[in-house]
Amino acid sequence: MNGRSATDVGTRYAVGLMSGTSVDGIDAAVVEIRGEPDQKPQVRLVAFENVPYPAPARKEIFALFDPQQATIDRVGRLNVWLGELFAEAALAVIRRAGLTPNEIAWIGSHGQTIHHAPESHVREGIDLRYTVQIGEGAVIAARTGIPCVSDFRVADMAVGGQGAPLVPFTEYLLYREEHRTLLLQNIGGIGNMTVLPAGCREEQVYAFDTGPGNMLIDGIVSRLTLGRQTMDAGGDMAKRGRIHDGLLRELQREPYYSRPIPKSTGRELFGAPYIDRLLDYRERHGLSAKDLVATVTRLTAWTIGEAYRRFVRDRYPADALIVGGGGSYNPALMDFLNAEMAPMNVAVRTQEEMGWSSDAKEAVAFALLAGYTLARRTNNLPGVTGAERPVVMGKISY
């Protein structure tokens, strides 16, 4: 067991672990945290590592996105398997930081979402919202000797929330400014936007999922290349393709985009069946692979601009949109996004331009969220998730 209490004052080191809807691998970050939970924390990224999944594990994760294949034995087995892999990632990034497990106060692990159903499911008069993240925290704690906080989302959903997005809590802590309204846009598998009004109080922050981030782009590229490529590296295909206006207009009619906030989405809407429909459209209309990738890349940028127009602009005209996540490394997507936001006088910047890390941002967030859990302090934003009240999220394993 580590020698430092999670609630000790002064400088603490913590590990954050994150695996998103793209299933690119495990993001692991060591952060140095100073300050009490009721103060604005001072956070420094000490080390970061992305640990790719072994091919068999990644294949199994994608299989279990299909509820028909996600039998209880497979889910239980993968839960433990991912716990082992998350523990290995934690130990690897601790070594990279030049630290030992004994110097780490806690680990915060988001886990891997395999199903997220935040909409109302009423059975026998009971509203059954549910979500499933796997990567057993007890295994992580056992292998590392460090307390691990995991399974964050369910506590928010138990009080009527969407269980997502959760990162806005830490964005409020770290990014808010007195005189500028900022939009923080993550482009992972799913895109999500956090609105930080100038000089805002905690209850003024709001956030929501804008729609597909890299999910459609990655899914199409993977299918068209028979798995030889898992993403449009450097936006190469999109840059060489032409946007198909008819398909773009059809995709823009997706009802999710006009659904009121708070809202969240995921692979349940924009996963394999959605990709199937896109590929069927391509066959019927003779689109090239490059044109299809260009069109869904343009769609992704449009969803972000449309979200700002619908849900933000009239309330809080923004000064800047700060982009993180894997999508920030796609030049074609960023060009489309700049073209989308420039007419509305919103500057587009990356996390790196602001002195942060796109890769590490969400892993850092779960390290911070776990610190609040261990201090028994609330760490959700009801105005963001739609929860009835603030709660302490996360389950602790020692």
Are residues 58 and 194 both part of a single domain? no
Convert the pLDDT of each residue in 132-169 to its tens digit. 999 999 999 999 999 999 999 999 999 999 998 899 99
Same domain membership, residue 228 and residue 280? yes
pLDDT (tens digit per residue) in 77-116: 999 999 999 999 999 999 999 999 999 999 999 999 999 9
**Which helix (H) or strand (E) is 371 found in, with range?**
helix 361-374
Range of the domain at 172: 168-354
We report the CATH number of the domain holding residue 26 as 3.30.420.40
Contact 125, 91 (CB under 8 A): no
Q: Is the dihedral of CA 223, 186, 151, 8 positive or negative?
A: positive
Whether 194 and 144 map to the same domain: the answer is no
Number of domains present in the structure of the chain: 2
Tell me the three state secondary structure of residue 299. Answer: helix
Are 256 and 383 found together in one domain?
no
The residue whose two tokens read 């006009």 is 258
Evaluate whether residue 117 is within a structural domain: yes
- Using DSSP, state whether 43 is helix, strand or coil: strand
Annotated binding-site residue numbers: 20-27
7 inside domain = no
Is 311 inside a domain boundary? yes
Q: pLDDT: is 40 or 374 the higher one? A: 374
In single-letter form, the type of residue at position 395 comes to K
Q: Are 209 and 281 found together in one domain?
A: yes
Q: Are residues 252 and 341 in the same domain?
A: yes
pTM (two decimals): 0.86
Question: Are 347 and 374 part of one and the same domain?
Answer: no
What does the alpha-carbon distance between residue 172 and residue 219 come to, in Å, rounded to a whole number? 32
Q: Cα separation of 133 and 189, whole Å?
A: 16
Residues 365 and 242 in one domain: no
Q: Do the beta carbons of residue 330 and residue 213 sit within 8 Å?
A: no
Give pLDDT, residue 4.
Answer: 45
Question: Is residue 191 one of the residues assigned to a domain?
Answer: yes
Task: Cite the annotated binding site for ATP by residue number.
Answer: 20-27
Whether 72 and 158 map to the same domain: the answer is yes
Residues in CB range of 383: below 8 A, 6 or more apart: 203, 204, 205, 206, 262
Q: Are strands 26-34 and 12-19 parallel, antiparallel or unpaired?
A: antiparallel
Residues 280 and 316 in one domain: yes
Based on the domain organization, do 82 and 224 belong to the same domain? Answer: no
Question: Is the same domain home to 285 and 370?
Answer: no
Give a yes or no: residue 5 inside a domain.
no
Please give the average per-residue pLDDT across 173-200, as a whole number: 95
Q: What pLDDT, in 10s, does the model give residues 241-296?
A: 999 999 999 999 999 999 999 888 888 899 999 999 999 999 999 999 999 999 99
Token pair for 393: 């999220």
